[in-house]
A and B are shown apart, each in its own frame.
Chain A
């Protein structure tokens, strides 16, 4: 154990990214000043290290040990990955290795979409989140999705495919914004698939105006050797809803970080998640929910299933400002350990400055109940089938609020396939 090595490895990785930026910057689209500022920040602070509270449980050392390259510009072959995209009838924006692919996409008629450069948006905080600084410095592409006031835009797919570039590890940093005007509605289904070693470091800003509603369903089913570190900012106005569900079952080292702010009265935020982890996987779901207005409600149900030598992390912070009276905050984190070698770290945090609020949180870590196992087996279910049924029952509470039938079916199918590959 040589803790002093860790900062230098991360420092080396930071240097490599900054050097890449220096070489590329003349060609990168968009606001050069923002990028330069991000580069200065990053050079000064480096990538997040294990001594930072927010990164205590997720160590980027394995990322720092990896050398990343630019994705090659020639058209990558992604037929196999495309075939794995679940069947959901909706227009789609497809990014391959971080770049928009017009030929694979079908732009929706009811949404304004701009691609071809990073959609920086106004919510991101590169000065606080170092991976966001990294993204800002190197972002090349992204989608800017706008739904006009009063429009119900139905369902839209946002797909990221990462191709195995003949064993070359690549890094890409897409930058998206999604804005819903007053009373607008959208279901955004985000799907991540990939092969080989890569870093996918997307940053997304979500703005939900008065009375608007965004349902954001994410299926993170990326390559087994992938690093997937996503950051999302959401700002929800009066009577607006940001209802999100994240299914994480891919990647080697993954983190989904969400900062959601309830900025107007009667806003609603749901940050539900299910993580399924096999041997060698590390997945982190980190949320900060800021209640800045009265009468708002936030809900988080996070379920993690761990097998083999895997590690799951949930960090959930609820901040209730003085003005946010009558806040209703709920957070439940449950983990099911199917192996003695698996580890779950759970860190709920409440910071409450208002006096009339209802906030509850709970965390449980357990194993499969032997009584339930025996009951099922005594009815004829083989052991593996009984386990699978109980694991799905455990996840049901998090999945049940999903009302989009095809997305729900896609998630169930991904879970079933995961279970076939990793029978515990």
Chain B
């Protein structure tokens, strides 16, 4: 379970999150929506431990572990996964090597046995098939020369292989055409289960047609101003953020 209490955070002393309270129970998928600049990406970076994004007040725990005190790799080993809005290119690093190194680093940190190369490739090929990714994407350098859609699919592939317990998807739908959107949504839906939680950060309601969330939260000026069921996303789509933001102010 992810529990965020009165979280204040910012970048280089500039406050962006102004007291977030959010609980995502194990097994649930929650969507966070909000206008540009509301703090959505900052929240994802604070939860995953990016340098320069410091919490100044409040707490964020996952299954009782204080995330804010942990190194990014320790959060990953605990099962926290961030799907990047802008996946990073790694020239000179093969995708297969990257994925296996990451998987085994997490397994080592958890005291589990490492996965050998044949078992890894079996696992990876199955995951790629499910995401309609050609096999040669394993041989290419990580995200180098990938289209926008391929990069996002590669994020979901990493999620499928690393099998996190808490996935944070930061605008994974941006830049995707409708076919890619469905593939990505299927990839997330495949992970859903009693042990999997997700925070889906999105600007648009469209993705939520395919990944139906248990709860929807609206973020504005670094605070959650409304929470509701999936119907809240539809309301936003119809009326926009302006009215809701004005009402909260």
Contact = CB atoms under 8 A, between A and B. Distances in A.
B147 interface: no
A422 B231 CA distance: 57
Given A380-B109, A381-B105, A382-B105, A371 B73 contact: no
Given A378-B49, A378-B76, A393 B91 contact: yes
A381 B102 contact: yes
A394 B93 CA distance: 9
Interface residues of B, number: 28
B84 interface: yes
Contacts, number: 74
A332 to B, nearest CB: 13
B72 A378 contact: yes
A62 to B, nearest CB: 34
B126 interface: no
B50 interface: yes
Contact of A379 (B50, B71, B91, B158): B158
Given A375-B90, A378-B76, A380-B162, A389 B50 contact: no
Interface string A348-382: 00000000000000000000001110111111111
B42 interface: no
B14 to A, nearest CB: 18
A392 interface: yes
A372 B84 CA distance: 12
Nearest to B91: A393
B82 interface: yes
Contact of B50 (A374, A381, A385): A374
B101 interface: yes
B160 interface: no
Interface string B140-163: 000000000000000000100010
A385 B105 CA distance: 9
A383 interface: yes
Nearest to A379: B102
B76 A377 contact: yes
Contacts of B98: 376, 379, 389
Given A380-B105, A385-B105, A393-B93, A375 B71 contact: no
A385 B101 contact: yes
Interface of B: 48-51, 71-73, 75-77, 81-82, 84, 87-88, 90-93, 98, 101-103, 105-106, 109, 158, 162
Given A374-B51, A386-B73, 15 more contacts: A374-B50, A375-B84, A375-B90, A376-B90, A376-B98, A376-B102, A378-B82, A378-B84, A379-B105, A380-B76, A381-B73, A381-B105, A382-B71, A383-B73, A390-B93
Minimum-distance CB pairs A-B, first 7: A393-B92, A380-B76, A380-B106, A379-B102, A396-B92, A375-B88, A377-B72
